[in-house]
A and B are shown apart, each in its own frame.
Chain A
Amino acid sequence: MATRHSRSAARLMMAPAVVLLLGWMLVPLVMTLWFSFRKYLPLRGGDLGWVGFDNYASFIRSSAFWPSVQVTLTLVVGVLAITLVVGVLLALLLDQPMWGQGIVRILVIAPFFVMPTVSALVWKNIMMDPNNGFLGHLWRAVGLQPIDWLSQASMGSIILIVSWEWLPFATLILLTALQSLDSEQMEAAEMDGAGPLARFGFITLPHLGRAITVVILIQTIFLLSIFAEIFVTTGGAFGTRTLTYLIYQRVLESQNVGLGSAGGVYAIILANIVAIFLMRIVGKNLDA
């Protein structure tokens, strides 16, 4: 099928994309590695030469490091849990035949199209603001003291915002998986005496296994680098400083590019550890 001629033509055709991707990935990666070994303070003398592993040592010794790792993982796990549980329930609902199905589905998908910065602003000002927010009004309406969500329940609030953004993605993937479930299997289970809960547990959930795996893997990749939502809402205060945010603070707020780059390398390592664990746990679902 593939002649030598067509193979070399294929290589030629792919070359621009490969070169572009390589440049896009390799240049920043190499620069990050380069800076992580240098003392580089842009406003305080610029590039001050080699320092070996000093940046790595001081980044990990910083009192902010381990809490930031913990916050990052809490955020990822929290959002995954909410989007998966609610996503499965929503997908089950949307799979039912109902009037106005098309419109409802579009509405459910809508949050995914809102930019992270915008949705964080919307949540911060319209929903969670203690004076003017909808939740504040709701609390006052039933005679309660409004809660300043983003300072008193900062982590939960951010998990909620990010979950709201990612729920459509999870729902959509799970819904398409649900629609591919053979209806005769459900009927067979019904005849076999399985009630609705048993049918869900024994038939639907195993069928969704692969879709759930896809959701977990893709969401984890994006959730590890959540930034805009934190920047817009808490600015990293109130225990919401993730590793990504800590790196941003080191580079731009402390103007220490070397230290931030070392943090970036740690972030790469963390992402890979998470990826290895995930592939071990859920990756086997993708086989066969």
Chain B
Amino acid sequence: MGQILLEKVVKRFGDVEVIPPLDLTIEDGEFVVFVGPSGCGKSTLLRLIAGLEDVTSGRIVIDGKDATNIPPAKRSLAMVFQSYALYPHMSVRKNIAFPLRMAGFDKAEIDRRVAAAADVLNLTPYLDRRPGQLSGGQRQRVAIGRAIVREPAAFLFDEPLSNLDAALRVGMRLEISELHNRLKTTMIYVTHDQVEAMTMADKIVVLHAGRIEQVGSPLELYSRPRNLFVAGFIGSPNMNFITGPEADKLNAATIGVRPEHIQVSTTEGRWKGTVGVAEHLGSDTFLHVHATGLAETITVRASGEVGLRHGDTVWLTPEDDKIHRFDSNGLRIE
């Protein structure tokens, strides 16, 4: 059981309000990702839930119990830190056993649980090594092992993959997703990487300057972003925003078209332009097109290899039903 409820939670550091009043419900078993640019308060929010920071006002309810004033150790939450925060002078075995030892489990039970966790995380051969003798990915798994042995109500991840290289990150992303499928425990995951958010989450919470911009499933956020911020943050490459006459035609202050929703043609189309930079990825080609009559450079994602180079003339046509319209306050127009 791991339902977490935030009610009117506020956090101030001195005069600076980092988190304005915020409400959020995290259901039991959900994989929730807090995503936002750096400094948006996502880590602070996680630390508030963990109890490592005190809330200025408001309530945090875990499993139906008011946990606002409960110390971190008693909240039955486990956290994986960005730096892994392994204990360098203890072996992997002792690191994983530490929370159990602190909780006063007997030796047989500790051994059983450590062995089980090591088995799940493929750490069995490394149990007697020190963290310093492990690779980044292995350290990450030890940190996760230390979290899962406690069988907590929820896991908190604070940017756990940001210290890993790109290839390892993709692998660990899968492992964490698999772990969630197996354990079915609530997980709250903080990241600034929208790809991690999109691939892992059941529910994404987009934060900006401490405020929740939108809560929803990855596809909801992708197809129906509530405002310009969410529209620009979710999706890679970023959504094209177009203002001016083209937006006026659709009765909007700004219109947004995702790069993958624009057709490219060398013969005809709605907007004529010249190719600036063309990024050839093999699977896709990203074209940055300077269109005549549009102030903004338009990014287009063409599937596969298209034989277009710098300076070529192209015509672009957005898919009409996939154009997002926003009013002058940046809010979505249905």
Contact = CB atoms under 8 A, between A and B. Distances in A.
Interface of A: 182, 184-185, 187-194, 198, 202-203, 206-207, 209, 288
Contact of A193 (B52, B86, B103, B132): B103
Given A182-B83, A184-B83, A198-B102, A192 B89 contact: no
A187 B98 contact: no
A191 B87 contact: no
Contacts of A187: 52, 72, 79, 81, 85
Chain B contact-residue range equals: 20 to 34
A188 B73 contact: no
30 contacts: A184-B83, A184-B85, A185-B87, A187-B52, A187-B81, A187-B85, A188-B81, A188-B87, A189-B87, A189-B98, A191-B51, A191-B52, A191-B77, A191-B78, A192-B73, A192-B98, A192-B99, A192-B146, A192-B150, A193-B99, A193-B102, A193-B103, A194-B102, A198-B102, A202-B90, A202-B98, A203-B87, A207-B89, A209-B89, A288-B132
Interface in B70-103: 71-73, 77-79, 81-83, 85-90, 98-99, 102-103
- Main secondary structure on A side of the interface with B: helix
B73 A193 contact: yes
Contacts of B52: 187, 190-191
Contacts of A188: 79, 81, 85, 87, 146
Nearest to B74: A193
- Which 3 interchain pairs have the tightest Cβ spacing? A188-B85, A192-B99, A193-B73
- Main secondary structure on B side of the interface with A: loop
Interface in B126-145: 132
Interface of B: 50-52, 71-73, 77-79, 81-83, 85-90, 98-99, 102-103, 132, 146, 150
B17 to A, nearest CB: 22
Given A190-B52, A203-B87, A207-B89, A184 B72 contact: no
Contacts of B51: 191
A177 to B, nearest CB: 13
Given A198-B102, A202-B98, A190 B85 contact: no
B102 A184 contact: no
A191 B98 contact: no
A98 B72 CA distance: 24
A50 to B, nearest CB: 56
Given A182-B83, A188-B87, A191-B51, 10 more contacts: A184-B85, A185-B85, A187-B72, A189-B87, A190-B52, A190-B71, A190-B72, A194-B98, A206-B89, A288-B132
Contacts of A194: 73, 98, 102
A187 B143 CA distance: 13
B315 to A, nearest CB: 53
Nearest to B146: A192
A185 B132 CA distance: 14
Contacts of A192: 73, 98-99, 102, 146, 150
